[in-house]
Structure 1
Amino acid sequence: MTRINRVKREVIRYIFLFIGSIIAAVGLEIFLVPNNIIDGGVIGISIIASYLTGVPLSVYIIVLNLPFLIFGYKQIGKTFVFSSLFAIISLSFWVSVFHPIPGLTNDILLAAVFGGIVLGIGVGLIIRNSGSLDGTEMVAIVFNKRTSFSVGEIVMFFNLFILSSAGLVFGWDRAMYSLLAYFIAFKVIDVTIEGLNEEKAAIIVSDNSYEIAEAILARLGRGVTFLEGKGGFSKEPKTIIYSVITRLEIAKLKAIVYEIDENAFLTINDVFDVMGGKQKKRAIH
């Protein structure tokens, strides 16, 4: 990759970090904060601290994240930390801009649902472009390397404590709405990162591999790759088919495979990013 292309790629990445922070700020200040609904992580702590002290939320978002950023710089690396710092500063700015604007709704359920959706889109864009708004994630990444707990489990532990604290400050009904908003945001983050049209990787082991491959090419228009393998029991060589399809093509692929070989072994797995190559081909490669 040339220097110009690298610079262009970095500029685009920071633009998406900036856009993500704007969207996240809308979710917070237009939906969640006016209705005393919090998010998890440092943002959730910041909302509670701002409510109790009267200090602007934008200040706490930066101040409370700084120790985690310093910790992350030493333990994880500067690229991720600099991206996160940019996103956090941008979020803090836009939170202060949107703060004087009245909330869009006083209906707590609507605020939780739409706040979670909007916040999830913003955070998802930031994570997709190698950033983070939550310093606790950096701690979770480090602890994940040193313990048997996953990053998700460690973050969930932090968030359960934070959301429980919301019950003591705002009331338990707000804590339950906060949990709803957090769950919605969590799911929307996944969709934003992975996309709605998830690709699937199919692996097919059959004695009729070439015939199946030709049928996939002719009837699905999907490219295939042959992998050479060996049966664990029979020790005989096997030609394995690898192909990437959409989830809408799964049923048709199964029909093609088992129409040709009812004893074929077929596995289908999620694929979240497909880069390079040609997915539509007319010749076996």
Structure 2
Amino acid sequence: MPHGLIVGGITGLSALFAHTTEMRLGLFLFLFNLPFIFMSRKHINLRFALYTILGVVCLAIASLALHHYPAVISDPLPAAILGGICLGSGIGISVRFGGMYTQASEQGFSLLSGGPPRSAEVIIMALNCAILFAAGALFGWYQAMYSIIAYLLAFESLRLSLRSLSHSRAVWLTTKRPGEIQQVLLHSLQCEAALLAESWQEGKSGTLFCLIHRSELKQLQSLVRRHDPECHIVIRSAESYRTRRVLHK
């Protein structure tokens, strides 16, 4: 905020409104994020929505608390460089630990992996360009160059932080109740688990295999432990191309 850096997205839009209205950034961060949470209510569960609201509230409070403090770096260029790297790395940490719902995660990985942009991604990029253009008109084009540097570094640091990170996890479950757990996963998580041991008999252990989104791992473990506390669970990262090959088989 002291350097007038705008990095796009809701944060950049909030910063623009904060500069033009001279109101606190934290207020706009909270207000502008709420509509997106409500619009995503059909795609996320209540627990994830509450965590998201908690994250937005913490972001807004932290912004309000830091409002009166001076800038740590007085030069806008190193501020843009370090700020962009910190922003992208922070988003990467959030994504790594499940801070993104499944549909957005699929779209985000497609964009970050360098795949062809979809219509929604083109719209997002256009909006970000419009925000950067507004920042140039408001603060001057020389100042806008620092914002572009911060924006590009944030995007690239996010790509680096997610390198070799798959959104899917391969899970092997060795249990004495494979049939029961198979049905539980199907009804609770819409996850189809395949029974690998074809010669399995009642009373003996069988091994189930499934692919699941990393944000649902804790829920899967909780469900499995509830039905079989002695179940042996093995989890591995599943790269996208390996995932497709396993599904085809």
| TM-score category, normalised to shorter length | 0.5 to 0.7
The verdict on how the C-alpha distance between 1:131 and 1:158 changes in structure 2, with shifts beyond 3 A counting, is farther
1:121 CA displacement: 1.7
* Counterpart residue identity of residue 12, structure 2: G
Q: Deviations over 1:151-181 (max 9, x none)?
A: 5433212211111111111111222211110
Task: Please say if residues 87 and 131 of structure 1, whose CA atoms lie closer than 8 Å, have aligned partners that are also in contact.
Answer: no
In structure 1, the residue matched to 2:53 is 85
In structure 1, the residue matched to 2:131 is 162
In structure 2, the residue matched to 1:115 is 83
Summarize the alignment of residues 1-285 of structure 1 with structure 2, pairs less than 5 Å apart: 33-131=1-99, 149=118, 151-194=120-163, 274-275=236-237
Q: TM-score, normalised by structure 1?
A: 0.49
Q: Equivalents in 2 of 1:113, 1:49: separation in Å? A: 23
* Counterpart residue identity of residue 74, structure 1: K
Q: Deviations over 1:57-90 (max 9, x none)?
A: 0000001111111111135554553333222111
Q: Equivalents in 2 of 1:129, 1:95: separation in Å? A: 23
1:112 CA displacement: 0.7
Q: Equivalents in 2 of 1:87, 1:105: separation in Å? A: 26
Q: Equivalents in 1 of 2:66, 2:136: separation in Å? A: 25
- Partner SS, residue 275 of structure 1: strand
Q: TM-score, normalised by structure 2?
A: 0.56
Q: Equivalents in 2 of 1:43, 1:63: separation in Å? A: 11
* Counterpart residue identity of residue 174, structure 1: Q
* Counterpart residue identity of residue 158, structure 2: I
Count of equivalent residues: 159
Identity percentage of aligned residues: 31
CA radius of gyration, larger in = 1
Specify every segment of 5 or more residues in structure 1 that has no aligned partner in the other structure, as ranges: 1-32, 200-272, 277-285
The verdict on how the C-alpha distance between 1:79 and 1:155 changes in structure 2, with shifts beyond 3 A counting, is farther
Q: Equivalents in 2 of 1:98, 1:149: separation in Å? A: 37
The verdict on how the C-alpha distance between 1:79 and 1:186 changes in structure 2, with shifts beyond 3 A counting, is farther
How large is the Cα RMSD of the aligned pairs?
A: 3.0
Task: Please say if residues 24 and 67 of structure 2, whose CA atoms lie closer than 8 Å, have aligned partners that are also in contact.
Answer: no
Task: Please say if residues 83 and 130 of structure 1, whose CA atoms lie closer than 8 Å, have aligned partners that are also in contact.
Answer: no
1:150 CA displacement: 5.2
1:186 CA displacement: 0.9
1:35 CA displacement: 0.5
The verdict on how the C-alpha distance between 1:157 and 1:84 changes in structure 2, with shifts beyond 3 A counting, is farther
* Counterpart residue identity of residue 152, structure 2: F
* Counterpart residue identity of residue 66, structure 1: L
Q: Equivalents in 2 of 1:274, 1:188: separation in Å? A: 25
The verdict on how the C-alpha distance between 1:43 and 1:191 changes in structure 2, with shifts beyond 3 A counting, is same
Task: Please say if residues 136 and 144 of structure 2, whose CA atoms lie closer than 8 Å, have aligned partners that are also in contact.
Answer: yes
More moved, 77-86 vs 102-111: 77-86
1:275 CA displacement: 3.4
